[in-house]
Structure 1
């Protein structure tokens, strides 16, 4: 494989590893928000922000952690026949099926960017009592989808290298 492909795969793997490891700690942030929500309910305080902030944190957790999950091959797979195949057959199947994933992620990214631009132009806010701006979480979603797209391309290169008898 050309050196630029090797460098691309190394870069994407390293980037998604770091972002994924960071996103793991968002679970602790989520637990803190939910703990605060429980405490404020006991003390009869009105913490109107906790539910939406927990939702935003959960979205960030899974959108930024998704590429890392894909990288570790810990994603859920329909495994009716796949586990019986040889590594070479799996690589062939993955090399072709990744195009469906790339198409899906491309359409998803296009829609996410359009929605984010709308949110930024019109200062879109949530229709709840807290009324936070929506654009920050939409930006995080765009970043997560883009990182997933980069990781899928890296997987394609890894499968092609495997078919050629190389390791990336």
Structure 2
């Protein structure tokens, strides 16, 4: 593989790792927020109306940000009924086909998320709740994470092509 593709794969993998580790730390943010909510509601009898919704937004960010590292590490759910019995080249061929489908799917999702983000920015879209937060930050994060997942999908494609050629990246 050309040096530029190797550099691309290393860069995208490194960014996916950093974003994934940041996503993992969001568990602590969610836990602290829920503990804070429980204490203020049950001990101090002062309910905070934003805590549950903030935790929901944080959980959405956790899922979005965890996608690229899950793809990179191949920690996603896979039907191993036939896959496990394939040779390395057979796995690479099947993975290459599924990566192609995934790239199409992520492209469609990215177009939709960009449209949704544009709408949210143009209208100042907010959640209809007591807290009434803006949805622009979470929609922007979704769009960025879809871009990173698309970049990671191309990285996987290059890795599978290298496997089929008998070379390492």
TM-score by length of 1: 0.97
CA distance in 1, matches of 2:24, 2:98: 28
Equivalent in the alignment of 1:115: 116
The answer for the alignment partner of 1:40 in structure 2 is: 40
Query: Which moved further from structure 2: 37-46 or 7-16?
Result: 37-46
Q: Deviations over 1:66-107 (max 9, x none)?
A: 111111111111222101111110001111221110011000
Q: In the aligned structure 1, how far is the partner of 2:47 from the partner of 2:37?
A: 9
The residue matched to 2:55 in structure 1 has which SS? helix
Aligned to 2:6: 6
**Distance in structure 2 (CA, Å) of the matches to 1:129 and 1:166:** 57
1:10 Cα deviation from its structure 2 partner = 0.6
- 1:151 to partner: Cα distance: 0.6
Structure 1 segment 116-131 matched on structure 2, within 5 A = 116-131=117-132
Cα offset, 1:3, TM superposition = 1.1
> Where has structure 1 moved over 3 Å in runs of 4 or more?
none
Alignment of 1:15-164 (within 5 A): 15-42=15-42, 43-164=44-165
Distance (whole Å) between structure 2 residues aligned to residue 145 and residue 37 of structure 1: 31
Tell me the distance in 1 between the aligned counterparts of 2:91 and 2:38: 48
Show the counterpart of 1:167: 168
Q: Is the 8 A contact 1:67 1:148 kept in 2?
A: yes
Q: If the length of structure 2 is used for normalisation, what is the TM-score?
A: 0.97
SS of structure 2 residue aligned to 1:57? helix
